């Protein structure tokens, strides 16, 4: 799941970047709003990379600690997806699809991380 | 006979003068509360810089420039606060709104096929078109940090007449005289421009003028053509034509003929809706009621109110010479001796000279005299020479009431052979009143000349300062404004004479209100107007009767002491008016008086030159012309008897004149300034009661906390998070 999410996040950033080029050329934006929305995409790239890394690290060392960080980062990623899904200035149909997929990825991973964390914590006590 | 010099925009109602309108004192602020100096912020405009007051604000924006009828909804003026929601709905149904001074932001309309949603941001507006442009969304955005460029205040020039002496303000020209010198049937409401359905009650109820209300107007030959129809919402204030009268008796006795009171009066019906048809119920028709009756003397041109029964046996009074019925038509040169009529040598019925609009509104005529033919005197009595329809309608375009002001006269043929006239001049006016306009209690209902800045070609607002409770704490000042605005004198007698024929010597008519004609002063239009006085040798040599200091000065009085700074100057706010300064300091110290031993009246006051200094104010992109000061320069000259023959029949003509010159105080880029509002804080201040009702007790503390940046961040984060989760 994390592997596909990593590929998806790159694809997501690439498509979103293309969509911002399209929006910047075709739509009107108030001052600084377009820059702010692109900045969120850069934040997303860094945050998503860190989240996947921490979740992957938790899997590999079989400890719940990295999952805690991954949880925190998941909150931020979810907010960014929500912003692009609903609150950005111009929401394209493509934005709905991409961010919907992104939120499904994060939601499934969060559920899996909870179960995995509980498993690691139980095995650590034994 | 009437000759108009200069721009004959609209002749005043003869005999009434340009009287000031009564002040509604209840709406006038107390002098202690009112501003006493120049207030740069005009009525109807908004100051962008909230830190400024009306007395100091020059960065203002005006978004009601199409609202020219205060107290009444202007057609297609979507920003007019007098309009109701129904009016706006009607305007929108027809397409677009008139320009109102709003800046045109950049706008982009895009197809919504790929676009799922647009969220408005600060300074960005989204218009979702759900009618004709279905599937499109339009986005406009204002990115400029500067809210506009504005003219700087020219307060030091307001009422500053001295600057007019500067060469900078003197125009390259001068008026100085040398020393010798179709109904849309089927529709439920009238739309703007629709013809009005009309019918007439004779033996049967039938269509009048082919079914729509006619407003006869001058054709190519100046004669009245009925092929001109009233258009809904379009006022007609100036409209005269010549009615050819080949057989006065036949024209007079014709049922519903062009001179008949029945045709324009109570036999006439107007359809309340375009769909009103002859066979529809009577409720679909409004009967025309006669609101007022006036009597016009065709001999003198004077108009007075009509008294019932006065025309049945008009008292004849000998006149020295026959007077032409009409010469105002441009086609008067074409003569037809067989079709001439002349004025009945009758006097106007004795009546109150007042004919103020308010008085006329109060009058409701119960019995309308019929137009009759008096065979014994050859007179057509009560012939209609003036018609003014007042049509009231509601906001939906349904006519609710139709009234008419009729001007009648007596016409006879007794002097036909001596006159070279072709007919009778008739005037036809119409005005529309929207009875559902939103009333404005802070200003009287009136037609303005711009909102706020003057529009070139509209009358200059003028009036006289009036006071109430002078010298007390309840003192108020206001302006009794002249509905027709500032006006110059104009000829109202034969061949350009200042006065109609009168038994009284001209120098005994010592008030400008006794002149029956005037020429309006239109903003931005330089004009000259003059009239003449013809003196016989006998009259001229009687210098002691008329060549007296200040004897004729009132003739040149403009009838106003205040001029509106802006076209929408509020009569109830005296500070929105500047003084009309009468300059006499340059006049000769020698008074107007005869020169001993000569036939000369020296220093005769015979002209007034009005100089209007104006400039622009407000936004550079939406400039509002304003008047800074007005000066009336009184001029004088020597009146000399030049005729060599000094017989009793010798005459010489002298001229009184008034001119108006508009001088622009030109503003360069050096006089502009850019208004840039303060940059708002990055994190908006959170109101102290943001957690109400969960946190009631700590409101005061919250205010203090809210000023700390840490508190801002925490509170903003919580609010944003709540908003995101709700979305």
The answer to whether the beta carbons of residues B426 and B243 sit under 8 Å apart is: yes
pLDDT value of position B513: 54
pLDDT value of position A89: 87
When pLDDT is cut at 50, 70 and 90, the band that residue B25 belongs to is confident
**Span B196-219, pLDDT tens digits:** 999 888 878 888 888 889 989 988
pLDDT value of position A80: 95
Region of residue B638 (phi > 0: left; psi between -120 and 50: alpha; otherwise: beta): beta
pLDDT value of position A29: 83
pLDDT value of position B702: 41
pLDDT value of position B421: 55
pLDDT value of position A53: 92
Encode burial over B95-116: b for 16+ CB neighbours within 10 A, e otherwise.
Answer: eebbebbeeeeeeeebebeebb
Residues of A in contact with B145 (CB under 8 A): 31
When pLDDT is cut at 50, 70 and 90, the band that residue B686 belongs to is confident
pLDDT value of position B162: 83
Quick check: B141 and A28 CB within 8 A?
Answer: yes
Interface residue A100 vs chain B (CB under 8 A): no
**From B108, B118, B124, residue closest to A30, measured CB to CB:** B124
Quick check: B119 and A87 CB within 8 A?
Answer: yes
Among B614, B612, B658, which residue's Cα sits nearest to residue B631?
Answer: B612
Encode burial over B431-461: b for 16+ CB neighbours within 10 A, e otherwise.
Answer: ebbbebbeeeeebbebbbbbbbbbbeebbbb
d(CA B339, CA B354): 35
When pLDDT is cut at 50, 70 and 90, the band that residue B183 belongs to is very low
pTM of the model: 0.56
Q: Is the pLDDT of residue B90 over 80?
A: yes
Q: Is the pLDDT of residue B577 over 90?
A: yes
pLDDT > 90: percent of chain B = 13
When pLDDT is cut at 50, 70 and 90, the band that residue B698 belongs to is very low
Distance from CA of B611 to the nearest CA of A (A): 48
Using alpha carbons only, give the angle A85, A89, A95 rounded to the nearest 5 degrees: 30
Distance from CA of B61 to the nearest CA of A (A): 22
Quick check: A89 and B124 CB within 8 A?
Answer: yes
Tell me the β-bridge partners of B625: B616
**A-B Cβ pairs (cutoff 8 Å, strict):** 58
Q: What is the DSSP code string of B308-366?
A: TTTTTSPPB---SS---S---STTTTS--GGG--EE--BPPPP--S---HHHHHH---S
**Span B126-155, pLDDT tens digits:** 776 555 445 667 666 665 666 778 888 888
Distance from CA of A29 to the nearest CA of B (A): 7
pLDDT value of position A105: 92
Residues B34-47 have a mean pLDDT of 82
Q: Is the pLDDT of residue B664 over 80?
A: yes
Residues B430-442 have a mean pLDDT of 78
pLDDT value of position A42: 93
**From B117, B121, B727, residue closest to A30, measured CB to CB:** B121
pLDDT value of position B16: 42
Interface residue A7 vs chain B (CB under 8 A): no
Tokens of B602: 């020296």
Encode burial over A47-63: b for 16+ CB neighbours within 10 A, e otherwise.
Answer: bbebbbbbbbebbeeee
Interface residue A36 vs chain B (CB under 8 A): no
pLDDT value of position B318: 31
**Span B469-479, pLDDT tens digits:** 888 888 999 99
Among B197, B214, B219, which residue's Cα sits nearest to residue B270?
Answer: B197
Q: Is the pLDDT of residue B353 over 60?
A: no
**From A30, A87, A88, residue closest to B141, measured CB to CB:** A30
- In the predicted model, residues of chain A with pLDDT beneath 50 are none
pLDDT value of position B726: 54
Interface residue A89 vs chain B (CB under 8 A): yes
pLDDT value of position B154: 84
When pLDDT is cut at 50, 70 and 90, the band that residue B366 belongs to is low
Task: Name the residue of chain B whose CA is nearest to A34's CA.
Answer: B121
When pLDDT is cut at 50, 70 and 90, the band that residue B719 belongs to is low
Quick check: A28 and B140 CB within 8 A?
Answer: yes
A18, A19, A81, A90: best to mutate for the B interface, most B CBs within 10 A:
A90
**From A29, A87, A90, residue closest to B115, measured CB to CB:** A90
Mean pLDDT of chain B: 75
Residues of A in contact with B114 (CB under 8 A): 92-94
Q: What is the DSSP code string of B487-544?
A: EEE---SGGGBSS-S-SS-GGG---GGG---EEEPBTT--EEEEEEEEEEHHHHH-HH
ipTM (interface predicted TM)? 0.73
Instruction: Specify the higher pLDDT residue, B346 or B549.
Output: B549
pLDDT value of position A71: 92
pLDDT value of position B230: 92
B141, B147, B718, B723: best to mutate for the A interface, most A CBs within 10 A:
B141
**Span B263-313, pLDDT tens digits:** 888 789 999 988 888 776 677 889 999 888 888 777 666 667 776 444 433
């Amino acid at each position: 799941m994390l592997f596909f999410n990593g590929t998806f996040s790159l694809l997501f950033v690439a498509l979103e970047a293309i969509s911002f080029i399209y929006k910047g050329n075709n739509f009107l934006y108030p001052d600084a709003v377009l820059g702010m929305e692109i900045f969120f995409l850069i934040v997303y790239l860094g945050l998503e990379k860190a989240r996947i890394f921490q979740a992957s690290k938790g899997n590999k060392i079989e400890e719940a600690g990295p999952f805690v960080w991954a949880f925190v980062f998941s909150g931020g990623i979810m907010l960014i997806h929500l912003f692009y899904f609903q609150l950005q200035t111009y929401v394209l149909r493509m934005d709905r699809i991409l961010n919907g997929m992104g939120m499904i990825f994060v939601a499934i991973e969060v559920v899996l991380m909870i179960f995995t964390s509980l498993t690691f914590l139980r095995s650590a006590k034994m | 006979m009437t000759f108009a010099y200069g721009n004959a925009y609209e002749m005043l109602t003869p005999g009434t003068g340009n009287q000031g309108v009564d002040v509604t004192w209840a709406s006038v602020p107390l002098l202690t509360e009112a501003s006493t100096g120049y207030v740069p912020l005009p009525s109807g405009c908004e100051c962008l810089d909230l830190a400024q007051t009306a007395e100091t604000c020059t960065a203002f924006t005006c978004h009601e420039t199409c609202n020219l009828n205060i107290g009444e909804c202007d057609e297609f003026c979507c920003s007019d606060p007098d309009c109701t929601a129904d009016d706006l709905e009607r305007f929108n149904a027809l397409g677009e709104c008139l320009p109102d001074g709003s800046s045109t932001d950049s706008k982009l309309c895009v197809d919504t096929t790929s676009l799922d949603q647009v969220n408005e941001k600060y300074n960005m507006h989204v218009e979702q078109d759900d009618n004709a442009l279905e599937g499109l969304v339009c986005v406009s955005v204002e990115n400029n940090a500067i809210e506009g460029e504005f003219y700087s205040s020219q307060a030091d020039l307001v009422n500053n007449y001295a600057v007019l002496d500067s060469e900078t303000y003197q125009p390259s020209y001068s008026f100085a005289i040398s020393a010798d010198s179709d109904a849309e049937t089927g529709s439920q409401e009238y739309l703007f421009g629709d013809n009005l359905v009309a019918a007439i009650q004779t033996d049967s109820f039938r269509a009048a003028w082919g079914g729509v209300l006619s407003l006869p107007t001058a054709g190519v030959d100046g004669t009245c053509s009925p092929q001109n129809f009233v258009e809904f919402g379009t006022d007609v204030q100036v409209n005269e034509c010549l009615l050819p009268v080949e057989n006065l008796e036949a024209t007079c006795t014709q049922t519903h003929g062009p001179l008949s009171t029945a045709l324009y009066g109570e036999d006439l019906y107007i359809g309340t809706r375009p769909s009103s048809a002859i066979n529809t119920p009577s409720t679909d028709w409004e009967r025309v009621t006669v609101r007022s009756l006036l009597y016009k003397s065709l001999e003198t041109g004077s108009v007075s109110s009509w008294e019932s029964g006065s025309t049945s046996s008009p008292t004849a009074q000998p006149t020295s010479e026959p007077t032409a019925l009409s010469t105002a038509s441009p086609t008067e040169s074409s003569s037809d001796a067989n079709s001439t009529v002349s004025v009945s040598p009758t006097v106007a019925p004795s009546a109150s000279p007042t004919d103020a609009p308010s008085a006329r509104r109060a009058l409701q005529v119960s019995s309308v005299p019929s137009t009759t033919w008096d065979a014994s005197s050859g007179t057509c009595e009560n012939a209609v020479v003036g018609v003014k329809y007042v049509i009231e309608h509601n906001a939906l375009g349904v006519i609710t009431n139709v009234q008419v002001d009729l001007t009648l006269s007596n016409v006879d043929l007794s002097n036909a052979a001596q006159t070279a006239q072709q007919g009778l001049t008739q005037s036809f006016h119409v005005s529309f009143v929207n009875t559902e306009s939103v009333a404005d209690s802070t200003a009287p209902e009136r037609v303005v000349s711009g909102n706020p800045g003057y529009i070139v070609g509209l009358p200059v607002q003028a009036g006289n300062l009036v006071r109430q409770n002078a010298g007390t704490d309840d003192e108020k000042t206001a302006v009794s404004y002249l509905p027709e605005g500032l006006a110059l004198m104009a000829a109202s007698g034969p061949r350009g004479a200042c006065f109609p024929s009168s038994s009284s010597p001209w120098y005994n008519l010592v008030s400008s209100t006794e002149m029956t004609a005037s020429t309006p002063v239109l903003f931005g239009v330089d004009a000259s107007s003059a009239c003449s006085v013809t003196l016989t040798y006998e009259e001229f040599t009687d210098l002691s009767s008329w060549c007296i200091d200040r004897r004729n000065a009132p003739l040149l009085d403009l009838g106003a002491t205040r001029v509106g700074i802006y076209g929408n100057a509020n009569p109830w706010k005296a500070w929105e008016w500047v003084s009309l300064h009468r300059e006499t300091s340059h006049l000769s110290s020698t008074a107007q008086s005869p020169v001993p031993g000569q036939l000369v009246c020296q220093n005769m006051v015979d002209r007034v030159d009005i100089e209007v200094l104006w400039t622009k104010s407000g936004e550079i992109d939406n400039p509002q012309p304003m008047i800074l000061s007005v000066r009336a320069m009184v001029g004088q000259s020597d009146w000399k008897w030049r005729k060599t023959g000094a017989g009793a029949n010798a005459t010489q003509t002298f001229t009184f004149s008034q001119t108006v010159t508009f001088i622009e105080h030109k503003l360069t880029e050096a006089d502009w300034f850019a208004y840039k509002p303060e940059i708002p804080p990055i994190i908006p201040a959170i109101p102290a009661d943001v957690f109400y009702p969960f946190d009631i007790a700590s409101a005061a503390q919250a205010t203090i906390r809210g000023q700390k940046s840490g508190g801002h961040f925490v509170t903003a984060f919580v609010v944003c998070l709540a908003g995101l989760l709700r979305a």
